[in-house]
Amino acid sequence: MTAEKILEVFNHMHENPELSNEEYETTDYIFDYLKQEGFNPVRFKNITGLYCDMGTFSEEYPKIGIRADIDALYQEVDGVKRTNHSCGHDAHTGMVIGAMLKIKNHEALETRGVRFIFQPAEELGTGALAVAEEGIIEPLDYLFGIHLRPIEEAEMGQASPSIEHGSAASLEFKIVGDDAHGARPHLNHNAIEIGADIVNMLSKIHINPIIPSSVKMTKFISGGKSLNIIPGIAECGIDLRAQTNEEMDNLKKRVFKILKYVEEFYEVSIEDQSFSGIVASESNEEAIQYLKEGIIDALGAENLMEPIITSGGDDFNYYTVKYPELKGAMIGLGCNLQPGLHHPKMTFSRDALENGAEILFHSILNVK
């Protein structure tokens, strides 16, 4: 029966995706569904999303947080640009609600408190910090998350007790100079050529080769319909990734030095700089151990994997960086996911939904 309800939640989420910070109907749906099932959810005060407490919140008992992300992506699917759940947040929500249904009325709730968190805006990398501002994380001792993994990382029926994400960041900016006639290239600096120089300089950034990292231009818009105009303006975007927070700081410094140099050398302005980023994971060994036990109890020891190391990011990691005493880790769930996360036609085995809910359920029971 629980498996059917998990699938019901997943199907609704999948068919009704909403963008980051616009999850109004999603919030209403989860709130109403939980009320219908006899829970007492609480909406966040200043943002979309909600949380729901179960069990006994007391100083003498452990307090556990379980986080699901609820937003979707905007991408082109079969030639149509639309909102789309291609990162698995619909599945994460279904699994977390499944864990709630499994532990409902369980005697274990007499000796632990569990806070189920439905977080908005993970795809923007801002949701976790916004939830933290709601003041609901401070009381927690542990925080567990879960995320579907591509088939090359984990096969169906397997699970890892932690995903070791790298730090990921993006920088948007505008090269601002003046346009010039195509016959008079001496009167301006070509924004396209400036962009090409930035790309070349980015490729010369070298940090510790032992630590995976990358930095590359991912957006460049310049020029218009008139091909006899040398453009002086370009809109640019850069993607930065590093496996540790320390090396991400190093990358950022080098990139900003390049942009400063470009300003001075070409006598242009670098304007409208907008930087956003996600910190690398800082998983806790005690949390990992509880998740290991949960995986073994749910799937068997033969399906327990080692931690998954990935250059992908998740704003879940802000919780443990912001609250160093919080013991957190994220489950990586094998589910036959293909062709890959964020692919517009991403698909996975729906049978994995029950596996994820079972792991979360047993992990909660194992916390002492």
What pLDDT is recorded for position 71? 98
Residue range 67-111, pLDDT digits in tens: 999 999 999 999 999 999 999 999 999 999 999 999 999 999 999
Mean pLDDT score, 279-287: 96
Statement: residue 1 has pLDDT above 90: no
- Phi, psi angles (nearest 5°) of residue 282: -135, 70
Among 236, 253, 278, give the residue marking a domain's end.
Answer: 278
Number of domains, the chain? 2
Among 229, 245, 278, give the residue marking a domain's end.
Answer: 278
CA proximity to 276, closest of 90, 118, 130:
130
Mean pLDDT score, 325-344: 98
What pLDDT is recorded for position 276? 85
What pLDDT is recorded for position 354? 98
CA distance 116 to 321: 20
Looking at 129-133, 166-170, 350-354, which range is the least confident one? 166-170
Q: Are residues 297 and 349 in the same domain?
A: yes
Looking at 227-236, 248-257, 271-280, 290-299, which range is the least confident one? 271-280
What pLDDT is recorded for position 27? 98
Q: Are residues 143 and 209 in the same domain?
A: no
Which SS3 state, helix, strand or coil, does residue 17 take? coil
Q: Are residues 148 and 297 in the same domain?
A: yes
Query: Where does the pLDDT of residue 312 fall: very low under 50, low under 70, confident under 90, or very high at 90 and above?
Result: confident
Q: Are residues 84 and 186 in the same domain?
A: no
DSSP secondary structure code for residue 304 in this structure: B
Statement: residue 154 has pLDDT above 80: yes
CATH assignment at residue 246:
3.30.70.360
Q: Which amino acid is at 367?
A: V
Mean pLDDT score, 234-240: 97
Q: Are residues 155 and 200 in the same domain?
A: no
Percent of the chain with pLDDT strictly greater than 70: 100
Query: Where does the pLDDT of residue 235 fall: very low under 50, low under 70, confident under 90, or very high at 90 and above?
Result: very high
pTM of structure: 0.88
What pLDDT is recorded for position 81? 96
Q: Please state whether beta strands 63-69 and 142-150 pair in parallel, antiparallel, or not at all (unpaired).
A: parallel
Residue range 100-126, pLDDT digits in tens: 999 999 999 999 999 999 999 999 889
Q: Are residues 52 and 114 in the same domain?
A: yes
Q: Are residues 138 and 287 in the same domain?
A: yes
Q: Are residues 178 and 289 in the same domain?
A: no
Mean residue pLDDT of the chain comes to 97
What pLDDT is recorded for position 311? 84
Q: Are residues 306 and 241 in the same domain?
A: no
295 contact partners, CB below 8 Å, separation of at least 6: 159, 160, 161, 303, 304, 331, 359, 362, 363
CB atoms within 10 A of CB 115: 21
Among 230, 260, 278, give the residue marking a domain's end.
Answer: 278
Tokens (6 digits) for 19: 């963008």
Mean pLDDT score, 160-182: 96
Q: Are residues 228 and 285 in the same domain?
A: no
CA proximity to 342, closest of 319, 317, 313, 316:
313
Query: Where does the pLDDT of residue 277 fall: very low under 50, low under 70, confident under 90, or very high at 90 and above?
Result: confident
- Phi, psi angles (nearest 5°) of residue 45: -75, -40
Residue range 195-214, pLDDT digits in tens: 999 999 999 999 999 999 99
CATH assignment at residue 51:
3.40.630.10
The parent domain of residue 176 ranges over: 167-278
Q: Are residues 10 and 43 in the same domain?
A: yes
